[in-house]
């Protein structure tokens, strides 16, 4: 079976002309299925840039990104990119990105709903596991940063993504909770 992710000679240059900034230059990376990879680097080194390219939220300057052997940089249609993202990729952003008009449980179950599946029970179990199960009917505005971030993690996991991308997913969490999230990710992988 193909690796879940293979990045070949990936280059990303922001801007153009004299103002341009080359953030990734011929980057290569292979990630085997079922593994858990941590990207480390100083602020501004291009970690979020890379995750955004893999998640099809931004487009590369050159190079290939193979998701299960298929080059996603060749997919130009936003409809197709969105459909693939929904089916294969889970995201946890640095800031939670929850939908403010839905409660935590609805937020966590949202990717399933978008695929026509009711995954409310699974979403509730994940919220329980992450310690925010009792808050499932609260709205995001009424919760702390860490609580929201845990709900965002539940949402990403609920959809059983083939590839889970997490950009500083524990930034708002205390030390014990941080460690638990990494353990959960490793178990899941």
Ligand X SMILES: Nc1ncnc2c1ncn2[C@@H]1O[C@H](COP(=O)(O)OP(=O)(O)OP(=O)(O)O)[C@@H](O)[C@H]1O
- The residues binding Mg ion (CB under 5 A) are 47-48
Binding part of the chain for ligand X, among 41-49, 105-113, 139-147, 179-187 by CB under 6 A, reads 41-49
27 within 8 A of 8, measured Cβ to Cβ: no
Q: Which does 171 bind (CB under 5 to 8 A by kind): Mg ion, ligand X, none?
A: none
Angle between helices 145-158 and 175-188 (to 10 degrees): 0
Q: Beta-carbon neighbour count of residue 11 at 10 Å? A: 14
Smallest distance, Mg ion to C-beta of residue 63, A:
20
- The helix (H) or strand (E) run that includes residue 158 is helix 145-158
Q: Which is nearer to ligand X, 24 or 143 (CB)?
A: 24
Quick check: 47 binds ligand X (CB under 6 A)?
A: yes
What is d(CA 96, CA 118) in angstroms, rounded to the nearest whole number? 22
CB environment 145-183: b (16+ within 10 A), e (fewer): ebbbbbbbbbbbbbbebebbbbbebbebbeeebeebbee
Using CB under 6 A as the binding rule, whether residue 59 contacts ligand X is answered as no
Please give the residues from 156 up to 185 whose contact with ligand X meets the rule CB under 6 A. Answer: none
User: Which of 1, 16, 43, 134 is in the footprint of ligand X by CB under 6 A?
Assistant: 43
**Interface mask toward ligand X for 3-32; x: CB under 6 A:** -----------xx-----x-x---------
96-115 positions binding ligand X, by CB under 6 A: none
* Binding residues for ligand X (CB under 6 A): 14-15, 21, 23, 41, 43-49
């Amino acid at each position: 079976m193909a690796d879940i992710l293979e990045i070949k000679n990936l280059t990303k240059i922001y801007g153009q002309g004299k103002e341009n900034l080359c953030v990734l230059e011929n980057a290569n990376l292979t990630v085997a299925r079922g593994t858990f990879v941590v990207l480390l680097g100083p602020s501004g080194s291009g970690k979020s840039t890379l995750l955004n390219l893999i998640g099809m939220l931004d487009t590369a300057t050159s190079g290939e990104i193979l998701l299960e052997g298929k080059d996603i940089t060749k997919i130009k249609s936003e409809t197709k990119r969105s459909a693939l993202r929904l089916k294969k990729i889970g995201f946890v952003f640095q800031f939670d990105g929850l939908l403010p008009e839905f409660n935590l449980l609805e937020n966590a179950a949202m990717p399933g709903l978008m695929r026509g599946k009711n995954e409310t029970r699974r979403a509730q179990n994940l919220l329980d596991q992450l310690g925010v199960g009792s808050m499932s009917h609260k709205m995001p505005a009424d919760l702390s940063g860490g609580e929201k971030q845990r709900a965002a993690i539940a949402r990403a996991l609920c959809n059983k993504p083939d590839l889970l991308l997490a950009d500083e997913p524990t930034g708002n969490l205390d030390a014990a909770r941080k460690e638990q999230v990494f353990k959960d990710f490793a178990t899941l992988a």
